[in-house]
């Protein structure tokens, strides 16, 4: 019952593609719209939908996984 911050804003640019989070289930329509719009806005890149529900349950998302971990 806990609400999670499932956001498409947490995508990631690579050299030739965009990794775009997808949340499935009741969000399937929004997932498809996000892919369509991102592909329209960035036609030179391949939009790669990535299942991300498990990531947000863990407290992050695709962009968060790319961040540096400082040395201790």
Catalytic residues: 64
CB-facing half-sphere around the CA of 62: CA atoms within 13 A:
21
**CA nearest 55: which of 16, 13, 6?**
6
């Amino acid at each position: 019952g806990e609400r999670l911050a499932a956001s498409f804003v947490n995508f990631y640019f690579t050299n030739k593609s965009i990794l775009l989070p997808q949340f499935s289930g009741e969000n399937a329509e929004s997932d498809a719209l996000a892919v369509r719009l991102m592909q329209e806005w960035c036609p030179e890149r391949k939009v790669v939908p990535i299942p991300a529900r498990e990531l947000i349950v863990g407290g992050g998302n695709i962009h968060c996984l790319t961040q540096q971990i400082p040395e201790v």
